[in-house]
Amino acid sequence: MIEPAIQHKIDAWLSGNYDEATKSEINGLLERNEHESLADAFYKDLEFGTGGLRGIMGAGSNRMNRYTLGMATQGLCNYLKQNFPGERVKVAIAHDCRNNSDVFARIAADIFSANDIEVYLFEALRPTPQLSFAIRHLGCHSGVVVTASHNPKEYNGYKVYWNDGAQVTAPHDKNIIGEVNKITSIDEVKWEAKPANIHMLGQEMDEAYMAKVQSLSVSQEAIRNQHDLKIVFSSIHGTGITLVPEVLKRFGFTNVHIVEEQATPDGNFPTVVYPNPEEKEAMTLALNKAREIDADLVMATDPDSDRVGIAVRNLKGEFELLNGNQTGALLMNYLLLAWKNAGKLTGKEFIVKTIVTTDLIKDIADSYNVTMYETLTGFKYIAEKIRALEGKELYIGGGEESYGYMIGDFVRDKDAISACALIAEMAAVAKDRGQTLMEMLVEIYTQHGFYKEELVSFTKKGQRGAEEIQQMMADMRANPPQTIAGSKVLEVSDYKHSTRKNLVTGEESKLDLESSNVLQYLTEDGTKVSARPSGTEPKIKFYISVNEPLDSKENFDAVDRQLSEKIEQILVDLKLK
């Protein structure tokens, strides 16, 4: 049986001004008695969260479709008009390779234009960071990109940006949500486009963006010496193919090999299960090609090209995937060393990482006497920190463990295009010194300690799954562990309630970050465990970080085993396996 409230919503869609294809999809589910699918499609409205929309595509109030997108866009239009009275409001729009992304982008453009808002629409798919750049470059008030990042193929989404090129933060995020929630009917949406208000973006914006990326280069001599560094690149059927090969060429790299099977943009992602470079399986074809040609470096970007995963030769000469913490530590160390060697460190520079990203980055920053700030998970918070310090301190770079990096501040979101360029440059510098990137990383470990991290995710789909995740967090708050892998828990940080409690003294302090549903435990031996429900996927994530001193490269394997055993014990202790 379908619950009465859900049936009421279904009836409203079947009798409303929805197109026949939508009604036919709903009727098909009814005829096949697919009550669970109907319940999930209608049990709530697709939530316009602090980042925008994201959901499974299909008919229904809890699905990503032209109507849920249309109502969200109308709410955003209303907010922009209120927020910039008397101004000619401008927005930029981009989209990725996903099924319907181009259609959704055009619908959004039509609605903005119908509301007398000036629209700058990319003529074809482009990376998300280029949308952030375009907002700043064109002086837009806002922007949207149609993407679901690295979610499975049935998803799509819609991310909203503000006039600094960053995803919206307080107070605009909550205010936009309020305006979107006021739109209760598709009949309130202005659907009829005003074509004169829509302007297409193409090559000229690519050129402006790539010029900025080229300005980040700090080791041109190493690239000249190692221009034939063998690089394998995969765009995993996404937008990276539009810019990464060209940017690498402009940096001076002459030996870049594209994974052709994954080079054509395709929202069905036919060669992978998940289009996510964090997944080993998604990197299989790139790794095969790397072995075949004896490459130096492997890089792969996700569908909207804001994340990059890499593989390098390990100490045994075999290809190994680095995690986001390792790549982030390498990049931050590389940038800080380059700035120091160039005499550019004045004491007013800073880098940023998120609260679930390795503390190795803090140790590196401290060694250069550079300030490191911590933010909540999400690049909108890193961008917010840059905005707050503009004119006072200078941002060098930042990142988070989930394969996102942002170098320089001309883009205010994670940017895999510039990251690919700088990672390749860093590999050229390492090779120029007779090193691999892994040897460079081990050198960092001997200086600052060997940090090893593990991410464990549990997927809990649908209404029941969301309730299970809430219960897991409630249980951990009610019963925090006293020890983890034999080490006493010293501190519990509850970012939801903005408190940090010292379990030894009982003292509580205030966390100077906005509320977020994250719990973090710190133990006597430096182990850190964080629990965080994902904001964009039906998952709860556990981040584990352990560390030990490393006195020499020769002891790498022994300490690596020791840290792996400790992680295994933590997984058992916290019942995560």
pTM, entire model: 0.95
The H or E element that residue 452 is part of is: strand 450-459
pLDDT at 464 over 70: yes
pLDDT at 134 over 80: yes
Q: What is the mean pLDDT of residues 349-364?
A: 98
Residues 501, 508 contacting (CB under 8 angstroms): yes
Say how far apart CA 226 and CA 253 lie, in whole Å. Answer: 8
DSSP single-letter state for residue 391: T
What is the CATH code for 450-574?
3.30.310
Which pLDDT score, from 0 to 100, does residue 400 have? 96
Q: What confidence tens digit (pLDDT) does each residue in 200-259 have?
A: 999 999 999 999 999 999 999 999 999 999 999 999 999 999 999 999 999 999 999 999
Whose CA is closest to 91, among 44, 141, 134?
141
Which pLDDT score, from 0 to 100, does residue 461 have? 83
pLDDT range class, residue 466, cuts 50, 70, 90: confident
Considering 61, 101, 132, 149, which one is annotated as catalytic?
A: 149
Hey, which of 91-100, 145-154, 469-478 has the most confident mean pLDDT? Answer: 91-100
Q: What is the mean pLDDT of residues 74-93?
A: 97
DSSP single-letter state for residue 142: E
pLDDT at 50 over 80: no
What's 208-216+224-448's CATH class?
alpha beta
Say how far apart CA 50 and CA 514 lie, in whole Å. Answer: 13
Say how far apart CA 529 and CA 542 lie, in whole Å. Answer: 7
Q: Which CATH superfamily is domain 49-201 in?
A: Alpha-D-Glucose-1,6-Bisphosphate, subunit A, domain 3 (3.40.120.10)
Please tell me whether residue 543 adopts helix, strand or coil conformation.
Answer: strand
Which pLDDT score, from 0 to 100, does residue 49 have? 81
Which pLDDT score, from 0 to 100, does residue 532 have? 95
Whose CA is closest to 201, among 116, 100, 126?
126
Place of tokens 């967090």: 473
Whose CA is closest to 230, among 312, 135, 114?
312
Q: How far apart, in Å, do the first and last CA atoms of the chain sit?
A: 36
Share of the chain above pLDDT 70, in %: 100
Please tell me whether residue 454 adopts helix, strand or coil conformation.
Answer: strand
Sorted by sequence, the CB contacts under 8 Å of residue 149 that are 6+ apart come out as: 128, 157, 302, 303, 304, 306, 307, 536
Q: What is the mean pLDDT of residues 453-462?
A: 90
Which pLDDT score, from 0 to 100, does residue 515 have? 92
Where are the CATH 3.40.120.10 domain residues in the chain?
Answer: 49-201, 208-216+224-448
* Range with the poorest average pLDDT among 72-86, 359-373, 378-392, 529-543: 529-543
pLDDT at 536 over 70: no
Q: Higher confidence at residue 452 or residue 459?
A: 452
Residues 546, 567 contacting (CB under 8 angstroms): yes
Which pLDDT score, from 0 to 100, does residue 302 have? 96
Residues 271, 129 contacting (CB under 8 angstroms): no
pLDDT at 535 over 80: no
∠ CA(290), CA(295), CA(298), 5° rounding? 65
- φ/ψ region of 435 (left if φ > 0, alpha if ψ in -120 to 50, else beta) reads beta
Say how far apart CA 577 and CA 573 lie, in whole Å. Answer: 9
What is the amino acid identity at position 164? D
Q: What confidence tens digit (pLDDT) does each residue in 250-292 have?
A: 999 999 999 999 999 999 999 999 999 999 999 999 999 999 9
Q: What confidence tens digit (pLDDT) does each residue in 144-194 have?
A: 999 998 888 999 999 999 999 999 998 999 999 999 999 999 999 999 999
Where are the CATH 3.30.310 domain residues in the chain?
Answer: 450-574
Q: What confidence tens digit (pLDDT) does each residue in 487-503 have?
A: 999 999 999 999 999 99
- To the query of whether residue 113 is one of the catalytic residues in this protein, the response is no
Average of per-residue pLDDT values in the chain:
96
